[in-house]
Structure 1
């Protein structure tokens, strides 16, 4: 029996019979790309500038933890054919589901505001005009594209802008990097017990392991089931399980690996340029862009702005869409970015409201770099209860039947949850000490 093509990256048309590994990349790869959003760029740049090479270990730690929690989310979507909100409703009281959805909504709206603020500031950095006007323009453009352009085509258009992130890879190989210090910071770090250090670690974890990523990857697996006629939820089509689980592991491993690798190069690049020259606190986007000057020269600001704008335009629909999807699921409304406006008015109404509130935050006068950094911290704190719910669902026979999360990924997922909880508690302790 010939199967239809497995989920592929949005710009690649894959023959139905192809079994090449790259044809199996889909929701996990897009989720990983969206993870390196403006909040990530700002947080990793701030971390490298402030603490140098000493925080590389966080990404080494985060990779298996991300794999555990993202794979749990993806399996829930593929096995049940339902997103996280509907899944939580199967074993949680309604008030608790509402609380989890509200936490996601709050975190995403704050992140939307911070991302839009950074996008406006980046545009103003290379062109004349007020940053707030640019932020409003980008928000309006993104909203129109989300409503009237199918998400698959939206990503196909914008993904090329994100290639500018590879400039950080170029920086690492074009400047002097103290590789001994970089390797020590990654594999044998020394820890500090102070507010700045702990807050930075929490911010890195928060921008790397964020609630919207869990909801998004699960919902995209459901979208894939609906898109491919021969695909069905694995609980009613167990014969597809072996192939789909293999694809999920590959897709998630590559997507999260890509995200963490780019993040490592961002930290290393800013450590070798900004931190090494005494710039340890980034206050503006111009200062953050200076990390790219060794390879881009006077065009560093343009290259940095392209990265912020590209990742921002890619992340905005993920942030707004995952929030709207969760709210629509709670109220049992029709949902999905590929549905026309006439068939999902309530869904698009929530999406528009999230964007409007995010825009209000973006033009409120917040410092873009500071806003992005603290958005990552908020994500870390809010993610803990959501992660607990994801892991309970992924290991529940009531939800997953016989296809519960395997033991090794169960351990990784619970360790990720414990790490985020410990980081949040540590931040509280050093903040009140």
Structure 2
């Protein structure tokens, strides 16, 4: 890798950082403000849990990608055949289009706040802006652009801190989880998880890492990028919930602007709109990139090359994707409802990519010398199973649209603690194992280099 040290560092940590921060998008901002307004700090534990779960997913993704040197979709296709990857493609692209709708609506909403133009007009403008960014070649240097956009979201944290939230209630919301076995409650939990966990992040990070052809020795640095992005993600999302808890009107945007205005004065509209626009465009770009990467890996289309023919194919897919995502946003301008639906679909449609990812990680033939221990495999499948069970519980309760067990409050601390311990065990255990293997490989490479040099 050429360039100075900082450039090389950014090249390694950017995929994980962007995949984490891109989850702070229009879907998250709009829906989490609504959650804060409706439930105050009650669901903060879901944010903490989802962030930890997403760190696990992205670390798993980076490990499989850097060990194999291939994207996750390509690995699934080669190892498990087209039937399984077809389900993965269908669910991922469906999720991508649902999320793209709310991203375009969010970008349009931010432009409406700034300009006063009708929302349908600004959604069309947002579609053109997103197309212009991607088609103009900004995708070639997408990392630097997206990292800059992601950091603008930290302004939300400053506003939330200045609003002086009740620290004790915030801490209680994070550290004392509870759950009700009802459709209404579980749907909120799943929708929040869907704002923070999406299949596009898996395929974006995987394709980005594989495309850069990074050596396995960069694995621990990739982990660090994921953790840094997850920290920013959690701080911003918590700040958004705090902002929602401080508003006194169901009109989400109007309420947020009132809170922002009390903190930053006349610049409130600019601060809010900049964060919402940045999050929307960042995620919209990542969604389009991950869609191209997924199709390229599965059908060996090589859409991300500089070939004029391939770029034309990629352009057609991008245009069709933006139109498909824009139509729901133009038809239904209820952004809270669209954010809720997109969150539910995102969580449900992450199941197949996660199963494929876990199968790859547990496959000794794929991981080679980096194969996981039995304990790590058990931890992995425990976490994946919990995620699947949450989705099945919501599906079961949604059939009659009424609670099957009534509004029963159950102690969830034990189950959540078990899953959290499994995630922590994976992160700590794999960092230790991978760290030792990477050191051994570096020593081996250095020895080969010295031996070759001595023989010259």
- TM range, normalised to the smaller chain? 0.7 to 0.9
Q: CA RMSD in A?
A: 2.6
1:342–1:46: structure 2 CA closer, same or farther, 3 Å change rule? same
Indicate conservation of the 8 Å contact 1:285/1:368, yes or no: no
Q: Which residue of 2 aligns with 1:62?
A: 50
Q: 1:422 aligns with which of 380, 389, 395?
A: 389
Alignment gaps of 5+ in structure 1 = 6-13, 226-230, 232-239
Q: 1:72 aligns with which of 43, 52, 60?
A: 60
Report how far residue 147 of structure 1 moved: 1.9
Kindly indicate whether residue 349 of structure 2 is the aligned counterpart of residue 360 of structure 1. Answer: no
Q: Which residue of 1 aligns with 2:241?
A: 267
Indicate conservation of the 8 Å contact 2:12/2:218, yes or no: no
Which secondary structure does the structure 2 equivalent of 1:112 belong to? helix
Report how far residue 320 of structure 1 moved: 1.3
C-alpha distance in 2, partners of 1:19/1:149?
20
Q: Which residue of 2 aligns with 1:349?
A: 316
Q: Which residue of 2 aligns with 1:234?
A: none
Kindly indicate whether residue 254 of structure 2 is the aligned counterpart of residue 286 of structure 1. Answer: yes
Indicate conservation of the 8 Å contact 2:103/2:281, yes or no: no
Report how far residue 132 of structure 1 moved: 1.6
Kindly indicate whether residue 10 of structure 2 is the aligned counterpart of residue 15 of structure 1. Answer: no
Q: Which residue of 1 aligns with 2:212?
A: 224
Indicate conservation of the 8 Å contact 1:333/1:346, yes or no: no
1:66–1:111: structure 2 CA closer, same or farther, 3 Å change rule? same
Report how far residue 413 of structure 1 moved: 4.2
Which secondary structure does the structure 2 equivalent of 1:301 belong to? helix
Kindly indicate whether residue 364 of structure 2 is the aligned counterpart of residue 397 of structure 1. Answer: yes
TM-score by length of 2: 0.80
Indicate conservation of the 8 Å contact 1:206/1:380, yes or no: yes
Kindly indicate whether residue 285 of structure 2 is the aligned counterpart of residue 317 of structure 1. Answer: yes
Deviation string 1:377-433 (CA, Å, 9 cap, x unpaired) is 110111112211111112212222222356676556434423322322232244332
Q: 2:344 aligns with which of 371, 377, 386?
A: 377
Q: Which residue of 2 aligns with 1:251?
A: 225
Report how far residue 67 of structure 1 moved: 1.7
Q: 1:102 aligns with which of 87, 90, 93?
A: 90
TM-score by length of 1: 0.84
Indicate conservation of the 8 Å contact 1:174/1:294, yes or no: no
Report how far residue 87 of structure 1 moved: 0.9
Q: Which residue of 2 aligns with 1:206?
A: 194
Indicate conservation of the 8 Å contact 1:168/1:265, yes or no: yes
Q: Which residue of 2 aligns with 1:45?
A: 33
Report how far residue 21 of structure 1 moved: 7.0
C-alpha distance in 1, partners of 2:79/2:278?
39
Q: Which residue of 2 aligns with 1:9?
A: none
C-alpha distance in 2, partners of 1:394/1:148?
37
1:23–1:345: structure 2 CA closer, same or farther, 3 Å change rule? closer
Alignment gaps of 5+ in structure 2 = 403-456
Report how far residue 112 of structure 1 moved: 0.6
- Once the two structures are overlaid, the 10-residue window that deviates more, 243-252 or 339-348, is 339-348
Name which one, 1 or 2, has greater alpha-carbon Rg: 2
Q: 1:386 aligns with which of 318, 335, 353?
A: 353
Indicate conservation of the 8 Å contact 2:161/2:239, yes or no: no
Indicate conservation of the 8 Å contact 2:87/2:352, yes or no: no
Indicate conservation of the 8 Å contact 1:283/1:369, yes or no: no
Which secondary structure does the structure 2 equivalent of 1:304 belong to? helix
1:377–1:290: structure 2 CA closer, same or farther, 3 Å change rule? farther
Q: Which residue of 2 aligns with 1:142?
A: 130
Tell me the number of residue pairs that the alignment of Structure 1 and Structure 2 aligns. Answer: 400
1:405–1:357: structure 2 CA closer, same or farther, 3 Å change rule? farther
Kindly indicate whether residue 278 of structure 2 is the aligned counterpart of residue 304 of structure 1. Answer: no
Report how far residue 283 of structure 1 moved: 5.0
Q: Where do residues 90-239 of structure 1 align in structure 2 (5 Å cutoff)?
A: 90-154=78-142, 156-157=144-145, 160-225=148-213, 231=214
Which secondary structure does the structure 1 equivalent of 2:78 belong to? coil
